[in-house]
Amino acid sequence: ELHLEDIDWRGGTIGLRQRKNRRGAVVPLPREAGHALVDYLQGHRPETDERRVFVQHIGPRRGQPITATAVSEVVSRALRRAGVDPPMAGAYVFRHTLASRMVSHGASLKEVADFLGHRDLDTSAIYAKVDLPALRDAALPWPEATR
């Protein structure tokens, strides 16, 4: 749940609230994402007193917070329409993809764990799937057999 007060516009960061472990994290807010948020907040977000950033746009819950389940349902439908059948359903595909990309770009498992808010590196290892092509490239060639 992202609240309006979680966004530090001057500092270019977002404070994330961890639901499971009750710990938080501060992450960078890229310029493009900041512009997209401003566009949403000023031009597309329904008028509401709700402090959470993302709210329902239609129906009887208009102006009420969007739930994590609703986000996962939207993501799942969009992936199906695109012909993508990910191994896991919903918005968690983004966490898994992020972790895998972080590892493939040189981040340590500790860095991935810190970013995802995991205390246990084994949990992050589940998210950060091994990039087999990268492993093949990094593998040392077998030494020639000596006779």
Question: 107: Cβ–Cβ under 8 A, 6 or more apart, which residues?
Answer: 115
Structural domains in the chain (count): 2
Asked if residue 147 belongs to a domain, the reply is no
| Whole-number Cα distances in Å, 95 to 35, 66, 100 | 22, 19, 9
- Same domain? 102 vs 79: yes
Say which residue, 21 or 93, is predicted with more confidence.
93
Most confident of 25-34, 71-80, 93-102, 115-124: 25-34
Which of 65, 93, 111 is the last residue before a domain boundary? 65
Asked if residue 135 belongs to a domain, the reply is yes
- Same domain? 89 vs 113: yes
Domain range for 86 is 67-139
Which of 65, 88, 116 is the last residue before a domain boundary? 65
Going by C-alpha positions, the residue among 39, 67, 36, 61 that lies closest to residue 48 is: 61
Residue pLDDT, tens place only, 70-92: 888 888 888 889 998 877 777 78
Asked if residue 47 belongs to a domain, the reply is yes
Say which residue, 144 or 48, is predicted with more confidence.
48
Say which residue, 7 or 125, is predicted with more confidence.
7
The residue written with tokens 């512009």 in the block is 35
For 83: left if phi > 0, alpha if psi spans -120 to 50, otherwise beta; the answer is left
- Same domain? 48 vs 74: no
Q: Say how far apart CA 57 and CA 59 lie, in whole Å.
A: 7
Residue pLDDT, tens place only, 124-136: 887 766 655 665 6
Q: Are 29 and 13 in contact (CB under 8 A)?
A: yes
- In this prediction, residue 129 carries a pLDDT of 67
Here the tokens at position 122 are 């084994």
Which of 13, 34, 65 is the last residue before a domain boundary? 65
User: Which pTM was predicted?
Assistant: 0.67
